[in-house]
Structure 1
Amino acid sequence: MPAPLIRSMTPVDVEPVAAAFLREDWGDRRVNLEFVTHHQETHPFVAEADGAVIGTGVVSLNGSVAWIGTVWVEPAWRRRGVGLELTRAMIETAEAAGCRTLVLVATEAGRPMYERLGFEVQTWYRILETPGLEGGEADPRIRPFAEGDLPAVEALDAVATGEDRAHLIRAFAAPDTTRVLERDDGSLGGFVCRAPWGGGATIAPRLEDAEAILHARRVANGPDKRVRAGLLAENEAGLERLSSTGWIEAWRAPRLVRGDPMRWHPETIWGQFNHALG
């Protein structure tokens, strides 16, 4: 049997891939797939056998850092090297683009493969959730994003993540998707920028500012929806504060890294676009 063909994902692949993800209980990822097949800094791949897509992967180029994710293989093709070849294709793409550090979030099933490719555990994500609020008011310092906020938002994000995610922020930031916290001196203390599929990059260097942003999200969602936050293990103060105020851990996963050390501040990160983009 010939080896599967590894090739770029195209818009034509979106519907069959989205249907496969639904069969695997990955949720409806159609909007995300449409984004990555059109966005210049994201490079999605598929593995194809006999004309059918039997695997996927996405690499996002965030300056000198690349994120690898959305690695999926059809059950009948697992443990046959398909995930390995997809990951190698993404690594080659990232390195050819000049990325010196590769990052991913691993499942327990996938972690041994990534470690064979030179990835090591850097830290852990802990995803917490809590119900929205009925009534209540958001902190008055929180307001909709304005175009003039873009340089400050990008600067906050770069310091926190050690990445250049300006291409994602510019793609998603708008008054109806993004909220910023403006301090009394006019500087920005943090932001949440929501992607079309629901994930939200959330950055705040100060604990009290992060709490205010998360509280505003709870107020906006209302009691019928839940709110999630994604913290790193280094954010001990944040994890302790949220746990003490009723947030419950939904899941956790290791963040793996390969390549040059990063200059970042994980204690200031409170949420992600998703775990294929950062």
Structure 2
Amino acid sequence: MVGTVRTMKPDDVASAMELSIAANWNQTPEDWYRIMQLSPGGCRCIEDGGKIVASASLLPFGMQLAWIGMVLTRPEYRRQGLARRLMEDAIATAERSSIRALKLDATDEGRPLYESLGFVVEEVVERWGRDSGEFLAAQEKPDLGGDDSSKVCAALLAQDRAAFGVDRGELLEALSAAGRCNASENGYALSRPGRVARYVGPCVANSEEEARRLVAAHLDVEARDHCHWYWDLLPANPGAVRVATRFGFTCRRSLWRMRRGESIKNNDAMVYAIAGFELG
């Protein structure tokens, strides 16, 4: 029997992974655990017969914004209102916490549900990819300049706040620990393992050339493994599109970035890669 909405536990992750694999998502078990650590009680689920059949996550960034992600339902349980129950639960939790805005990245299939709950479209977000073995013949070796860091410092956190709109320092620290970080005084780029492809992002920089240089360092180090890559970007920043194209990436799919509540002032021109559909 389908149960009520409850908080997901670490022991549930193996079952939850079955949902993301069925949807062909790139998340790993570590991605689920990370959200649980950053937002205790933020991963919610519905189970049936001891297995997770639907999920959603809520990741607050202070009281100004929270990000909704991991909205998944097993194929055989769809059209039963489970995603709506989880979304209503997330909205109620945010309202109890006086969080002023909610955001998420929606597929075409999910958009009508979110619109019915008061979300409005802000912009398009795109997934770009590069398959193993697809390298530009002219891909240059990165000029690291000798001053890159493996940590996002306080000055870069201020730059990230201007780009994203709110402080997400804890998330950036966790993502840095999970993968690689290249940072300079003008920006940073992170990458981490995924289930089917290595993921580049987030990347925030004060110029297209700096973003290109920082991302090139990740692609060069991992090139020996000939791995697949995903890169999620905002096409509102044409510089991000140019950099991704230069490195042989192509657009694979489009989603809708949606908001419920107050507008958040941010700067897309500084965002060359987002952190992930489930993270913002």
Q: Please confirm whether the aligned pair reaches a TM-score higher than 0.5, indicating the same fold.
A: yes
- Distance change in 2, residues 1:59/1:30 (3 Å): same
TM (norm. structure 2) is 0.85
- 1:129-168 alignment runs, 5 A limit: 129-130=129-130, 131-132=134-135, 136-141=140-145, 143-146=147-150, 149-168=152-171
> What is the CA deviation profile of residues 44-101 of structure 1, one whole-angstrom value per residue up to 9, with x for unaligned ones?
0001234432100111111211111111112222111110010111112223233211
Aligned residues: 270
Contact 1:59 / 1:90 at 8 angstroms: preserved in 2?
A: yes
CA offset at residue 143 of structure 1? 5.0
The aligned residue for residue 212 of structure 1 is 213
CA offset at residue 144 of structure 1? 4.7
- Which blocks of at least 5 consecutive residues in structure 2 are unaligned? none
Output the CA distance in 2 between the equivalents of 1:22 and 1:129. Answer: 18
- Distance change in 2, residues 1:106/1:20 (3 Å): closer
Contact 2:8 / 2:41 at 8 angstroms: preserved in 1?
A: no
Output the CA distance in 1 between the equivalents of 2:43 and 2:255. Answer: 22
- Which blocks of at least 5 consecutive residues in structure 1 are unaligned? 182-187
CA offset at residue 122 of structure 1? 0.3
Return the match for 2:276 from 255, 274, 277.
274
Percent identity, please. Answer: 24
The aligned residue for residue 241 of structure 2 is 239
**Residue 88 in 1 paired to residue 88 in 2?**
yes
Output the CA distance in 2 between the equivalents of 1:170 and 1:244. Answer: 28
Output the CA distance in 2 between the equivalents of 1:179 and 1:122. Answer: 29
Deviates more, 1:161-170 or 1:19-28: 19-28
Output the CA distance in 1 between the equivalents of 2:239 and 2:85. Answer: 40
- 1:102-141 alignment runs, 5 A limit: 102-130=102-130, 131-132=134-135, 136-141=140-145
TM (norm. structure 1) is 0.86
SS in 2 for 1:178: strand
CA offset at residue 260 of structure 1? 0.6
Contact 1:41 / 1:62 at 8 angstroms: preserved in 2?
A: no
The aligned residue for residue 266 of structure 2 is 264
Contact 2:165 / 2:264 at 8 angstroms: preserved in 1?
A: yes
CA offset at residue 221 of structure 1? 2.1
Contact 1:189 / 1:209 at 8 angstroms: preserved in 2?
A: yes
> What is the CA deviation profile of residues 221-261 of structure 1, one whole-angstrom value per residue up to 9, with x for unaligned ones?
21623444322132124324544664321222111111111
**Residue 190 in 1 paired to residue 193 in 2?**
no
C-alpha root-mean-square deviation of aligned residues, in Å? 2.6
CA offset at residue 123 of structure 1? 0.3
